[in-house]
Amino acid sequence: MKAFCRTLAALACWAALDAGAANIEVIVKTAGGQPVEDAALILEPASGNVPKLKTHANIEQRDREFVPYLTIVQKGTAVDFPNRDKIKHHVYSFSPAKTFEIKLYAGKPAQPIVFDKTGEIAIGCNIHDWMEAHVLVVDTPWFAKTGANGVAHIANVPAGAYRLRLWHPRQKAEAEIKRIELTNMPQKRMELALDVAPRAAHAKPPADAGY
């Protein structure tokens, strides 16, 4: 049921709350009150007891963009980079948490990239300067990212003490880590503040430019 819940809007899951667990909903806004999209909400259990729930993710290349822009994964997750475009891409990262390169390719590369170290990884394409994606590798299965409305849900988090972290690829300053105590809570709501810089404008040539 837990895995099922993660794939649905959390609203559909309120009824499926396990005994002794909590459903968390946060809304992230800038100091000016604007909703923040693509903020990562991370709950790290103080107990250090972290079950592994999901082991695979996809970051596609579609219409000469990475989709999604932000992917949050648990340490040890394998990520595929399928190219859905008719042209080739060349995916790379110089980030210390995962330095890698998938040289000029079409279709789905034979091997996924395994993100085995926690940290922030910025990903680009050697051919298309404007393409940008981010991976945040965390040591917990309890995470979510905010949608365009600034809202993120995490369903069925076992009761206990947690560190609540907020992160965004374009955050202006690091958010303070909050300590929270979860008990049986069908719907715990919080409002959090995070200021982010706008995404840099980039020149993207028209689709018929040939690259």
Site residues, Cu ion (CB under 5 A) = 89, 125, 127-128
Q: Which residues contact 196 (CB under 8 A, 6 or more apart)?
A: 30, 36, 39, 168, 170, 171, 172
**CB-wise, 33 or 107, nearer to Cu ion?**
107
Give the whole-angstrom CA distance, residue 58 versus residue 56.
7
- Report, in Å, the least distance between residue 149 CB and Cu ion: 30
**CB-wise, 60 or 139, nearer to Cu ion?**
60
- Report, in Å, the least distance between residue 71 CB and Cu ion: 17
Phi and psi at residue 97, to the nearest 5°: -70, -20
User: Letter for the amino acid at 10?
Assistant: A
**CB-wise, 64 or 168, nearer to Cu ion?**
64
139 closest CA partner among 49, 57, 75, 79: 75
Q: How far from 200 is each of 60, 70, 170, CA to CA, in Å?
A: 21, 15, 10
38 closest CA partner among 173, 137, 125, 166: 166
Q: Cβ distance 163 to 177 under 8 Å?
A: yes
**CB-wise, 2 or 90, nearer to Cu ion?**
90
For residue 154, the surrounding DSSP H or E stretch is strand 151-158
76 closest CA partner among 42, 35, 108, 117: 117
- Report, in Å, the least distance between residue 87 CB and Cu ion: 7
- Report, in Å, the least distance between residue 206 CB and Cu ion: 15
Q: Which residue lies nearest Cu ion, judged by its C-beta?
A: 125
**CB-wise, 125 or 136, nearer to Cu ion?**
125
**CB-wise, 89 or 153, nearer to Cu ion?**
89
Q: Cβ distance 156 to 2 under 8 Å?
A: yes
- Report, in Å, the least distance between residue 47 CB and Cu ion: 42
- Report, in Å, the least distance between residue 105 CB and Cu ion: 10
